[in-house]
Structure 1
Amino acid sequence: MGSRGNGNATGPGGGPAVDKGVDFANYFCTYAYLYHQKEMLSDRVRMDAYYNAVFQNKHHFRDKVVLDVGTGSGILAIWSAQAGAKKVYAVEATKMAEHARELVKGNSVEDVVEVIEGSIEDITLPEKVDVIISEWMGYFLLRESMFDSVICARDRWLKPNGVMYPSHARMWVAPIRTGLGDQKMDDFEHAMSDWYNFIDETESHYGVNMNVLTKAYREEHEKYYLKTSLWSNLHPDQVIGTAAIIKEIDCLTATVEEIRNVAAQFTIPINMDRTRLSGYAGWFDVHFRGSTHNLAIQEIELTTAPSTNGGTHWGQQVFMLHPPFRVNEGDKVMISFTMSRSKENHRLMDVEFTCELQQSSGKRLPPVTSKISIE
């Protein structure tokens, strides 16, 4: 449960090359701080799912060799040892590895757990493993691209009949109502008003007309306020239509190429009358099922769906429509969805929604396309 990511200098799965130094500075360093680990360790939904998955399926760990990818504080490695593993390799790319060693020793499992500082792409293990456990999920599942590293670990070190924890993942999209879009539009308009005041004052005080930069300033702030997804923990009542699964992943067989681009076409019926389609929410769930040859005794699910209990630290990614639609029960939204990695930063995502509203009367509104970044 630690640093998420890929340390490759060459692009994984044939992608563009990644500068390891820049990647480390931009990404890994965040996970080297205890405050960040504490935030994740305080997520009870997350913690309970992994705890139950391990301790209700001890047969997967007893007398087995385990690899924890991105161990962070080391808690998954410690649980694996407590569940009976004979050896645990806990790999961590940041200096958090030093804290993990202290925690391992403090919990008297240092004879089982070996903490290795380094990226999973670069380290070498002395043996193959029976289990790979990792908390690799980013916002809307694939942000951060850490699953690349888990795939690398699986292909290098997992035995043919080995087990992945988690074993499966799904991505979901649903239509929502929320006031977040109005708030962001107000913020954008305030920023532009402030810019125009700045132009007037700069010209009157200093004799320089800044207006030639207005287009660039507007584009910059449109991206920040209107074209970037928002984090939220939504209430289930804010979901106004049936959620759709847009991607299913088998962690034993998935490839980097398979997750590099996600595309789906689906139709969502609206089930709430006289409301506003403000945009879409994206979330994920993961499952601990074991494998076909070695099933879990107790299957565990970890979901980040809208919840009445405050949800998880992942929350949901909200993709706003500007302007929103008025919708009624019985209307249908036909959606074409794509998500790909940002060309500027392979850990971030570019999302495109094209939606067409078919009203219950049969009338179809013109399709609307929204391009939104997950940053």
Structure 2
Amino acid sequence: MASPASNGVPAVKGSFDKSVDFANYFCTYAFIYHQKEMLSDRVRMDAYYNAIFNNKHHFAGKVVLDVGTGSGILAIWSAQAGARKVYAVEATKMAEHAKALVHTNNVEDIVQVIEGPMEEVSLPEKVDVIISEWMGYFLLRESMFDSVICARDRWLKPSGVMYPSHARMWVAPVRSGLGDQKMNDYETAMSDWYSFVNDTEINYGVNMNALSQAYREEHEKYYLKTSLWNSLHPSQIIGTPAIIKEIDCLTATVDEIRNVFANFLLPINVDRTRLSAFAGWFDVHFRGSMQNPVEQEVELTTAPSIDNSTHWGQQVFLLHPPLRVDVGDKLMIAFSMSRSRENHRLMDVNFTYELQLSSGKCFKPVAIKYYIE
């Protein structure tokens, strides 16, 4: 239970500077161009639109809370679907633009836009529905789901529903030319560095080589160990994807999502190919609850697609060097993902993989640390 001084806001484990967090994260969402990118994502937009308007019984005459309303479009749709009242909470100055759109769309008697962090906002009543588009790259980057959990625990009625209601994280083995490109970029950067070291000593009499190891580590992280955003083609998947995490948005806790662990198997199903990377993506579902289900379930997936790519794309974790694999080979994976100590919005990811050939031969496990930035 929160202490009286906390105004009902649950304590957050691990301290961080709110002003720095705002500068690094929230300020991005205050720009219309960033909102436009999300509003132009047809997969995203269609999923939320269909979830709301195909399940009006969850909204008609109900009280709705939109966490991180941004442009306010989910709040406007909720009102158009018959909500009695919508509280649209936005931490940034985008709230002013949301108010303008609420007015233009003639729902200002229903939608109340509130500017401020969700953790610090007080509402005059409990709500029937919490709706939010909180998902970041590989689902959990940005850690915005923390704010949704806080809103749920403080304001959702026991009979209430979450939109979306469930989420899943996936990993698959893939082939890609990105690894070769990034390795070339890294080697070019290192060659340029050593030329710089040589020129500096010849021209200015100062030996800079003491910084070479630190420079190498910086560039290894940037080029080789930082995951990449990519829009993969389904043909690049060379094995059976595995679900590594399932989340029930009605019951999930911050502790549950702060650190994600999974052990799983990735069977290879493509003849004589190259394993270049692991790819991660997510999907979310609008199911309502067991007591109050939807009439029509809707799925939003960010899986590799021929013609339905999303602005989330997939996260690609490159292998250096790539591995030769064949049908029947298997990858035994130990996976972990936790929040970066330097920035709780970013993620540190660890893959430990062991390749087992169809012949029965096994290679020693290899552990690699990656960064989602």
How far apart in 2 are the matches of 1:103 and 1:231? 31
User: 1:276-323 CA deviation, whole Å, 9 max, x = no partner?
Assistant: 011100000000000011000000000000000151000000001111
| 8 Å contact kept, 1:71–1:91 | yes
How far apart in 2 are the matches of 1:170 and 1:344? 26
How far apart in 2 are the matches of 1:366 and 1:310? 38
Deviation of 1:239 after TM superposition, in Å, equals: 0.3
Q: 1:86 aligns with which of 84, 87, 96?
A: 84
Question: 2:301 aligns to what?
Answer: 303
Query: Unaligned 5+ residue runs, structure 2?
Result: 1-5
Does residue 188 of the first structure (1) align with residue 189 of the second (2)? no
Structure 1 residues 248-267: aligned runs within 5 Å: 248-267=246-265
Deviation of 1:356 after TM superposition, in Å, equals: 0.5
Give every structure 1 segment of 4 or more consecutive aligned residues whose post-TM-superposition deviation is greater than 2 Å. 11-15
| 8 Å contact kept, 2:43–2:308 | no
Question: 1:318 aligns to what?
Answer: 316
When the two structures are superposed, what TM-score results if normalisation uses the length of structure 1? 0.96
When the two structures are superposed, what TM-score results if normalisation uses the length of structure 2? 0.97
Does residue 54 of the first structure (1) align with residue 52 of the second (2)? yes
How far apart in 2 are the matches of 1:178 and 1:266? 22
Q: 2:21 aligns with which of 8, 23, 27?
A: 23
Deviation of 1:15 after TM superposition, in Å, equals: 2.3
Structure 1 residues 205-224: aligned runs within 5 Å: 205-224=203-222
| 8 Å contact kept, 1:74–1:104 | yes
Question: 1:121 aligns to what?
Answer: 119
Query: Unaligned 5+ residue runs, structure 1?
Result: 1-7
Deviation of 1:125 after TM superposition, in Å, equals: 0.2
Amino acid at match of 2:101: L
Does residue 341 of the first structure (1) align with residue 339 of the second (2)? yes
Question: 1:42 aligns to what?
Answer: 40
Q: How many residues align?
A: 366
Question: 2:349 aligns to what?
Answer: 351
Does residue 104 of the first structure (1) align with residue 120 of the second (2)? no
How far apart in 2 are the matches of 1:37 and 1:141? 18
Compute the RMSD of aligned alpha carbons.
1.1
Question: 1:155 aligns to what?
Answer: 153
| 8 Å contact kept, 1:12–1:148 | no
| 8 Å contact kept, 1:13–1:256 | no
Question: 1:140 aligns to what?
Answer: 138
How far apart in 1 are the matches of 2:247 and 2:77? 25
How far apart in 2 are the matches of 1:178 and 1:366? 24
Of all paired residues, the percent bearing the same amino acid is: 77
How far apart in 1 are the matches of 2:284 and 2:218? 35
Does residue 171 of the first structure (1) align with residue 169 of the second (2)? yes
Deviation of 1:99 after TM superposition, in Å, equals: 0.2
| 8 Å contact kept, 1:174–1:243 | yes
| 8 Å contact kept, 1:233–1:310 | no
Question: 2:287 aligns to what?
Answer: 289
Say which SS state the counterpart of residue 119 (structure 2) adopts: coil
Say which SS state the counterpart of residue 121 (structure 1) adopts: helix
| 8 Å contact kept, 2:59–2:129 | yes
Amino acid at match of 2:150: C
